[in-house]
């Protein structure tokens, strides 16, 4: 049987690299499109290109693309507030371009990476997929608009709304997750700043579990669904600080600063739908995931 080919947009990014590895481990051909230079250890066909480019169609023409995992995006809430036009291009316009071309070339299914940010400050917890959508940033708006375009496009799809993704090898530049930022500072013995009082909490999920979900969703018969990808576990920023402090041997106390515009106070996502549809329960605890980061495992 011929291998099926998966296009991963943003495949050189954090979640992208893990998703590519998971695809290769499951015997798929992988084609990556990313505007970054090809990472040294990414072992697949690679095109350095912006996914908003009209030249993207040539990749579909020259490669029989069966599936898409669409991860390319501007992931920064703070940057979306500063640069809403760039956020619109990198998130919404990119999705429109990918979906339009995918439809022309009869792609079987698209997996789309959305976000817990579309729930804003939740009305109830844990947040399930029926929760009303609301926005505290252009980032959340363009992710939600992308969801709607995918639903409109006529493609078979699964939209995954990720909780806070972390893991070994996460880039600490730009809008890296709080785990990666705290870890980088603690590893260097530098001061760590917590925005607000630190009692705000998040649902942290390891990137390896996210990559597995992406591939499970792609392989499944499920389509036309919006699904949270989370642990359904709440961890305050203060608690996160303490776990990282214990695992890294950090000795300084945190510095508390003012809260940031666009930040969500409380976020925990129900993963009941994920479990019921795919029989998949995220297996990596926050502490064990942080231990991997400390040990330099990728």
Residues annotated as catalytic (active site), given as ranges: 139
What is the distance, to the nearest Å, from the Cα of residue 185 to the centroid of all Cα atoms in its chain? 22
Return d(Cα 226, Cα 29) in angstroms, integer: 26
Judging by DSSP bridges, how do beta strands 201-202 and 235-236 pair with one another?
antiparallel
Kindly list the distances between the CA atom of residue 91 and the CA atoms of 80, 95, 138, 149, 267, in Å, as whole numbers in the listed order.
10, 6, 10, 11, 22
Hey, which bits of the chain come out as E strands?
Answer: 5-9, 29-34, 45-48, 67-70, 109-115, 157-162, 164-166, 193-195, 201-202, 204-206, 225-229, 235-236, 255-257
Based on its alpha-carbon atoms, the radius of gyration of the chain, rounded to whole angstroms, reads 19
């Amino acid at each position: 049987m011929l291998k099926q080919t998966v296009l991963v947009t943003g495949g050189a990014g954090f979640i992208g690299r893990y998703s590519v590895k998971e695809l290769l481990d499951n015997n798929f051909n992988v084609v990556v499109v990313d505007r970054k230079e090809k990472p040294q250890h990414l072992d697949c066909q690679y095109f350095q290109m912006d996914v908003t480019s009209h030249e993207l169609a040539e990749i579909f023409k020259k490669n029989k693309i069966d599936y898409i995992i669409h991860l390319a995006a501007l992931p920064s809430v703070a940057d979306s507030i500063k640069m809403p036009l760039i956020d619109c291009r990198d998130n919404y316009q990119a999705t429109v371009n990918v979906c339009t071309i995918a439809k022309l070339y009869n792609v079987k299914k698209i997996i789309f990476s959305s976000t817990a940010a579309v729930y804003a400050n939740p009305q109830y917890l844990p947040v399930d997929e029926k929760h009303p959508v609301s926005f505290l940033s252009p980032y959340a708006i363009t992710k939600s608009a992308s969801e709607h375009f995918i639903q409109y496009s006529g493609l078979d799809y699964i939209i995954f709304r990720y909780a806070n993704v972390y893991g070994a090898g996460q880039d600490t530049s730009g809008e890296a997750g709080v785990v990666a930022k705290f870890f980088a500072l603690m590893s260097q013995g530098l001061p760590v700043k917590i925005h607000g009082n630190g009692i705000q909490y998040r649902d942290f999920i390891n990137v390896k579990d996210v990559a597995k979900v992406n591939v499970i969703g792609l392989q499944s018969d499920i389509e036309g669904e919006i699904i949270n990808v989370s642990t359904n576990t709440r961890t305050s920023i203060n608690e996160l600080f303490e776990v990282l402090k214990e695992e890294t041997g950090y000795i300084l106390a945190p510095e508390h600063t003012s809260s940031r515009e666009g930040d969500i106070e409380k976020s925990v996502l129900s993963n009941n739908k994920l479990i019921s549809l795919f029989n998949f329960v995220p297996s990596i605890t926050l502490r064990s995931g942080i231990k991997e980061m400390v040990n330099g495992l990728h």
